Amino acid sequence: MSTAAKARRIAAITVATGALAALGAGFATASNGDRTGDVRAAIKGGHARNVILLIGDGMGDSEITAARNYAKGAAGRLNMDRLPLTGAYTTYALQKSDPRLPDYVTDSAASGTGWATGHKSYNGAISVTPDGRPQSTILELAKRAGLRTGDVTTAELTDATPAVLAAHVVDRSCQGPADMKACPANALQNGGAGSIAEQQVKTGADLYFGGGRARFAQTVQAGKYKGKTVIDQAKAAGYQVVTDAAGLARLSPNSRALGLFADGNMTQEWTGPEAKKGGTAPSRCTTNTAFSGPHLTQMASKALDVLDRQTKRSRQGFFLQIEGASIDKRDHSADPCGQIGETVEFDNTVKLAQEYARRHPGTLVVTTADHAHTSQIIPVGTDSPGKTATLITADGAPMTLNYATSTGDSQEHTGTQLRIAASGPQAANVVGVTDQTDLFATITRALGVRR
């Protein structure tokens, strides 16, 4: 056997073995625990007609485990646990002052830039390299190749994770025309491409659903739309603009759609006691009575329906990113019920993607996160120096979550590697330990698009 043939054989064995080790209880079809055949059947090359990328912001392994324990019990399984091929990926950013050095704890902007463009950058960068140069994104490449595109989030649409697909600015704070203090060279009046909101409209994804209405209501400072709002600019570009669940339901698939469902971030699904020094009494989470909707599952379902209808007419596929953003935001606030409720709703959205892929076998589904976060499951009764809260899980048992990465009001991200799981064409490329930048290559290879 030649050296090359031996290498190919070893690589194939490594892929199958690594996937098998990571499967857990993901396959219900294995009758005796031997999943070798299932793993072999899950490995598919070739092109994907569609790609659905699901990002749980701040959803590290601890956040996944906490949600599983609370909602399903320790022996239960989430929908994301059932994706057939699983690996881990590294998340580090670069130091802005010296890009030759890693920054071991990434933010959402640098991590999103990694998978959106295939390039590492510094914390705060939106799809630019450390020298400030814009880099083509998956969404831009897909659009250029004639595919339909969508961007869905529970955060402001101009927040980092949705922004990295359709904008290029040197600082993530430059969300609307009035927010350009940190990005003077990017400002429209200075000859730049404009704020994130302005660039998103210009990039022209087929649909954007999320919060951030106040950013789009800001006034354009220069150019053709000077004196008008970014919403006016969007309408002139052919976008239907909707602001509530009823409007979302009525959307026609015949034109572009901009859903702005909150002035800022969208409301959280669940509420409960926030963690505090000395802990809380054991409790259960409750539905947020102030929730104003739509739910992430509703936005995702509509996005899939619209893009599916559009691609049937165009005979092209689509790229869709869906973000459950407030797992991260509630983690920052040491709010376990908020964090878990967002993870459960995100997991319900993963199920929608899996069901779509079953009906459309040429679909690559990838579920992952952008960075890990602060919450840790610790022994009940531990005298922790951090903030703790105790919840009663689906097992009827107490579970204590600890938040201790900051003494301030906002908890910090952590730098650990993350779970990444997938199904469909090219899914085998997530197995093992990869990096966020490798996800760009996996998706562009699957879609058959090039820089």
What end-to-end distance do the CA atoms of the chain give, in Å? 37
**HSE (CB half, 13 Å, CA atoms) of 393?**
21
Residue-range definition of the domain harbouring residue 168:
50-447
DSSP classification of residue 230: H
Which pLDDT does position 30 carry in this prediction?
54
Would you name the residues annotated as active-site residues? 108
Tell me whether residue 43 is in a domain: no
Q: Is 102 left (phi over 0), alpha (psi -120 to 50) or beta?
A: beta
The C-alpha atoms of residue 416 and residue 373 are separated, in whole angstroms, by: 9
Q: Residue 239 in 3-state DSSP?
A: strand
Tell me whether residue 163 is in a domain: yes
Domains: count for the chain: 1
Tell me whether residue 293 is in a domain: yes
Asked if 138 and 443 count as a contact pair (C-beta separation under 8 A), the reply is: yes
The C-alpha atoms of residue 3 and residue 301 are separated, in whole angstroms, by: 48
Provide the Cα torsion 232, 177, 145, 120; round to 10°.
-160
DSSP classification of residue 444: H
Tell me whether residue 2 is in a domain: no
Tell me whether residue 18 is in a domain: no
Tell me whether residue 288 is in a domain: yes
What is the domain-level CATH number for residue 216? Answer: 3.40.720.10
Digit-by-digit pLDDT tens for the chain (451 residues) are: 444 444 444 444 344 434 333 333 344 445 578 989 989 999 999 999 999 999 999 999 999 999 999 999 999 999 999 999 999 999 999 999 999 999 999 999 999 999 999 999 999 999 999 999 999 999 999 999 999 999 999 999 999 999 999 999 999 999 999 999 999 999 999 999 999 999 999 999 999 999 999 999 999 999 999 999 999 999 999 999 999 999 999 999 989 999 999 999 999 999 999 999 999 999 999 999 999 989 999 999 999 999 999 998 888 999 999 999 999 999 999 999 999 999 999 999 999 999 999 999 999 999 999 999 999 999 999 999 999 999 999 999 999 999 999 999 999 999 999 999 999 999 999 999 999 999 999 999 999 999 8
Which pLDDT does position 408 carry in this prediction?
93
Tell me if the pTM is above 0.85.
Answer: yes
Q: Residue 272 in 3-state DSSP?
A: coil
Tell me whether residue 28 is in a domain: no
Cα angle 79, 298, 150 (rounded to 5 degrees) comes to: 90
Tell me whether residue 25 is in a domain: no
